[in-house]
Structure 1
Amino acid sequence: MELRSARHRVLIDCGLFQGSRTLEALNFQPLPFDPHSLDLVVLTHAHLDHAGRLPTLVQHGLTAPVICLPPNRQLLGPMLNDAAKLQAADAERRNDRPDRAGRKPFEPLYDSQDVARLIGRLDTVRAGKWIEPLQGLRLRLWDAHHILGAASVELNLDGQSLLFSGDIGDGATHLADPSSPEGGWDHVICEATYGDRDREVPTPDDRREQLAQAVKTALARGGNLIIPAFALERTQVIIEDLVALFDAHKLEPVSVFIDAPLADKVTEAYRRFDHAQRRGPSPFDHPRIRFVRTIEQSKALNRISGAIILAGSGMCTGGRVRYHLLRNLPRADSTVLFVGYQARGTLGAVLQGGAKLVRISGADVKVRAEIASLDTYSAHADHAGLLRWIAARAPISGSLFLDHGEPPALARLAADVAALPGIPTPVIPSLGERFRLEPRSACSVAGEARSDAIRLVDGADWHSRAARLRELLDIHLAKLPSDAARAEALEAITRAVEALPATQSASPDAQGVATPTMLAAS
């Protein structure tokens, strides 16, 4: 989100759109603000949906500092360089596809030089410490208990007190900080990822028991266990749990391949910031844990069975996990175990939804593998936790914004928040929408959302629907009584396709004029 005051322009996060190809295409559209005009960028944490487009800011003239907590200096380099490599590889792969011949080539968003320039703009601060980076603007970052280096952002801008939750973990929902300033908050912006889901937060032992049962069930089938996992935080926690189960003799030691070079680099930050005070050998050095660093080593995994393979990305939107899915989804003896949130429209969500045919890198892949999920590794607070966090922020004299959630999660959380004392009726901003913020007053709409905002977030992805259509076509053609009937059916379908409009105008980017104090959902 972008904040515009009479004197300053501040950006909170600049992440990648993740999900369907339709949604990901937004990453390549022009930014709805001028990076050169920004006075400050504040980063909540290093996950790509919050940090993944930061290098594009320096491409377009960013000269302002980027403020964050210290671990992010070590995390962002590997995370963003890996994203740049994946973008380049994805662009090359898509450009080489036969069905792309003669069409405009894809280009990656940024490269390693852009990442290096971004890292040079980082300015780390200590959690809980007030700073005044700009005249008339004070801020401090609070530990959000989400992942390593995650923060909530407290801002005092031109006399208004604002709080951005960032992504918050369950630990943050039991703490008073950040406490309400005198007179209460003017405006609070809170995430709603699990706004419609209550779950029992397990102890580490309970979580490991569930993982052990999932591993035993999967490997008993005889194939591989593929775990799509984010390189940041989720991979490290799963490694720790597997090693703890091996050492406690609750799980027979098997080979665990970490097929994500990024995870190896990210783990170094965990060694420094998260494990420095622990005694004993590091779980990351266990002999059964093997980091896969080369393409050749990754391809060699195609010839094995009975192993655990952790690979990114966690939502199967890119990375090496897609190669393992190509090989293992058609195998009835293999298992895919999801241990993280799957945004609507992603390949992971499509598989969780029970699809029997998916499209990966231009190929239609039949799903015969077992698809399983564990809901015990979330780094996000659940519905009840979010309600606790919001209730602890009372009183809010202006507006409460709910963001970072699918429509059902936002709707459920908004309905339940309305009953909390001292909390105003929540506002759910749409993509591109702008609001005027005043002290101790409810916000007012200052600019409309994109005309295609609802369609973009509804999770529909034409690529998956096209794969399903091809499957249905094959099924129905096979049922027809003769080749002549099949030829007639294909001619009718061809005529229908040729009758479709060849072009359609694209929806324009959201535009809006600057107002003295404004928040824009960018």
Structure 2
Amino acid sequence: MSLELIFHGAAGTVTGSCMELRGSPHHVLIDCGLFQGSRSPEALNFEALPFDPRDLDLVVLTHAHLDHTGRLPLLAREGLRAPVICLPPNRQLLGPLLTDAAKIQAADADRRNERPDRVGTTPFDPLYDLKDVENLIAQLKTVREGKLSEPVPGIGVRLWDAHHILGAASVEIQLDGQKLLFSGDIGDGATHGSDPAAPPGGCDHVICESTYGDRDRVIPSAEERRAMLAKLVQAALERGGNLVIPAFALERTQLLIEDLVALFDSGALKPVPVFVDAPLADKITRAYRRFDIPRHGPSPFDHPKVHFARSVDESRMLNHISGAVILAGSGMCTGGRIRYHLLRNLPRGDSTVLFVGYQARGTLGAVLEDGAQQVRLSGHDVPARARIEKLEGYSGHADRAGLLRWIAARGPIAGNLFLDHGEPPALAQLARDSALLTGIGQPVVPALGQSYILEPQAVAKPAQPARTDAEKLVEGKDWHSRHAALRAMLEARLAALPSDQAHDAALATLERAVETLGG
């Protein structure tokens, strides 16, 4: 029997993961994440859902990151009655993650609505509230890893360890006579073929992430990663300011704390104050302790130099410190307390901002990584004088070579390999490389809103075309930050002119150019 596979998110971009399988009679949703980045993709979060949550028979989650789960409470608000299936750690993770997301949305809406430049405009409303989160959590059902279950009659589901973050899974769906595999986000540990519990090959269709589809990376050992971190921390603090690290509350923050404490205890790094300004990370750590590998000796999270800022007042106290490491979310600087610390530290030439994860196009993190001299932040044009550094040893995603190994191990694929959750260069490169693998066939790179008819043991056929604005929406170009950068460049160029006459001539030229806008 045929199925329709629809890409509602993470098509041509790395955020907003959401795929729908329409069968006869079943409808299954895999993930329902937030679009993150510049205003254009973020606006997709507030569009009407392209499906009716009341029609869904089942929702399956790959893992707890918000770009995969951040719109789930919206489904509950709009009438979802179906069970939501995940691995056990996600029950403990999603409560605090989605509660925090609801609070951040409410706070961001209030802040935007109170800005002077927003007076008289349509007010922002959050996507959902805490009651919606409670309703969604009540619908969570956990299943054992590697065990085939039938949570709804006629729909077979098996979740495989994806080695990405705590509770992350690849999802096998058996529906209407077909077997499909959705990779979720794949960690390097899933790509070496040594895991006897890895998902087998022989699927009708495979959907694979492509985040690092165009990059080969040297994956450091824990010791090598810590040595690189120590060097960066030492150099940053010798400059006299703070080291600000945007980090996701789940997994990345815990791993950074472990590494910093290991460096303190070994003497490789002089102990310095480490402030975790993320109440969410504190709550996540409780689940992390419960499900992660048992430890021997004192927990690094109880080290005397590690301080969790649990209140707004404790967070504000960090505005006046120097010589500390500050960890705060979000990891791409799209929201949360990290934006307050960037507001204070970006203008400081003695501070350092260290990125330890992937920065999606259009996010503030990507703009800073690209070398912006000034950015738009919470209604302010903020000069970026701080030193910007990047450390890739913390990535939770497999690289190009790892993805190719994972794809090859899933062969033969009778139908198609679909590549999603990547930006255009990564998607294009992984498509070219995977097409050369034996038993994989021609890869398909879907666009936002596009759908395909899937048949057993056959090549998929295009059905619904992509959104007409798909390419523009996933470009991720934030005109607000470009505007701030343009203003900074203009001021610098004007200041460098030699005379009042030169200033007058330049301004006259600009005035004529502005008059042509919209004409």
Normalised to the residue count of structure 1, the TM-score between the two structures is 0.93
Kindly indicate whether the alpha-carbon contact (under 8 Å) linking 2:102 and 2:129 is maintained by their aligned counterparts in 1: yes
Aligned counterpart in structure 1 of residue 451 of structure 2, from 416, 431, 434 = 434
What secondary structure does 2:500 align onto? coil
What secondary structure does 1:2 align onto? strand
Q: State the identity %.
A: 67
Q: Compute the displacement of 1:491 (Å).
A: 4.5
1:342 equivalent in structure 2: 359
Q: How many residues end up aligned between the 2 structures? A: 496
Q: Distance in 1 between matches of 2:394 and 2:511?
A: 51
2:515 paired with 1:495: yes
2:288 paired with 1:270: yes
Match for 1:58: what amino acid? A
Match for 1:22: what amino acid? S
2:374 equivalent in structure 1: 357
Aligned counterpart in structure 2 of residue 226 of structure 1, from 220, 244, 261 = 244
2:269 equivalent in structure 1: 251
CA shift in 2, pair 1:475/1:217, >3 Å = closer
2:180 paired with 1:162: yes
Q: Compute the displacement of 1:134 (Å).
A: 2.1
Q: Distance in 2 between matches of 1:438 and 1:6?
A: 13
Q: Compute the displacement of 1:486 (Å).
A: 6.8
CA shift in 2, pair 1:178/1:157, >3 Å = farther
Kindly indicate whether the alpha-carbon contact (under 8 Å) linking 1:180 and 1:395 is maintained by their aligned counterparts in 2: no
Q: How does 1:150-189 map to 2 (within 5 A)?
A: 150-174=168-192, 175=195, 177-180=197-200, 184-189=202-207
1:117 equivalent in structure 2: 135
Kindly indicate whether the alpha-carbon contact (under 8 Å) linking 1:170 and 1:379 is maintained by their aligned counterparts in 2: yes
2:231 equivalent in structure 1: 213
Q: How does 1:17-28 map to 2 (within 5 A)?
A: 17-28=35-46
Match for 1:13: what amino acid? D
2:299 paired with 1:279: no
Kindly indicate whether the alpha-carbon contact (under 8 Å) linking 1:198 and 1:383 is maintained by their aligned counterparts in 2: yes
Q: Distance in 2 between matches of 1:311 and 1:180?
A: 39
Deviations 1:403-460 (CA, angstroms, capped at 9, x unpaired) = 0011111111111101110111110111000100000001000100011111112232
Match for 1:128: what amino acid? G
Q: Compute the displacement of 1:484 (Å).
A: 5.5
Deviations 1:358-407 (CA, angstroms, capped at 9, x unpaired) = 11011111111110000100111111110000000010000100100111
Q: How does 1:439-478 map to 2 (within 5 A)?
A: 439-478=456-495
Q: Distance in 2 between matches of 1:107 and 1:262?
A: 22
Kindly indicate whether the alpha-carbon contact (under 8 Å) linking 2:162 and 2:186 is maintained by their aligned counterparts in 1: yes
1:510 equivalent in structure 2: none
Aligned counterpart in structure 1 of residue 144 of structure 2, from 120, 126, 130 = 126
Match for 1:15: what amino acid? G
2:322 paired with 1:305: yes
What secondary structure does 2:207 align onto? strand
Q: Compute the displacement of 1:485 (Å).
A: 4.8
Aligned counterpart in structure 1 of residue 306 of structure 2, from 264, 286, 289 = 289
Which stretches in structure 1 are left out of the alignment for 5+ residues? Answer: 501-522
Q: Distance in 2 between matches of 1:179 and 1:71?
A: 20
Deviations 1:253-300 (CA, angstroms, capped at 9, x unpaired) = 00000001100000000111114x222111100000000011111111
2:331 equivalent in structure 1: 314
Normalised to the residue count of structure 2, the TM-score between the two structures is 0.93
Q: Compute the displacement of 1:332 (Å).
A: 0.8
Q: Distance in 2 between matches of 1:491 and 1:250?
A: 57
2:57 paired with 1:39: yes
Measured on the aligned residues, the alpha-carbon RMSD in Å equals: 1.4
Q: Compute the displacement of 1:180 (Å).
A: 3.2
Q: Compute the displacement of 1:179 (Å).
A: 4.1
Aligned counterpart in structure 2 of residue 425 of structure 1, from 442, 446, 451 = 442
Q: Compute the displacement of 1:98 (Å).
A: 1.1
Kindly indicate whether the alpha-carbon contact (under 8 Å) linking 1:396 and 1:424 is maintained by their aligned counterparts in 2: yes
Q: Distance in 2 between matches of 1:408 and 1:390?
A: 18
What secondary structure does 2:185 align onto? coil
Kindly indicate whether the alpha-carbon contact (under 8 Å) linking 2:190 and 2:198 is maintained by their aligned counterparts in 1: no
Match for 1:495: what amino acid? E
2:160 equivalent in structure 1: 142
2:206 paired with 1:197: no
Match for 1:323: what amino acid? Y
Q: Distance in 1 between matches of 2:196 and 2:172?
A: 14
Q: Compute the displacement of 1:465 (Å).
A: 1.5
Kindly indicate whether the alpha-carbon contact (under 8 Å) linking 2:27 and 2:57 is maintained by their aligned counterparts in 1: yes
CA shift in 2, pair 1:472/1:201, >3 Å = closer
Deviations 1:3-22 (CA, angstroms, capped at 9, x unpaired) = 00011000000000011111
Q: Distance in 2 between matches of 1:417 and 1:408?
A: 14
Kindly indicate whether the alpha-carbon contact (under 8 Å) linking 1:261 and 1:293 is maintained by their aligned counterparts in 2: yes
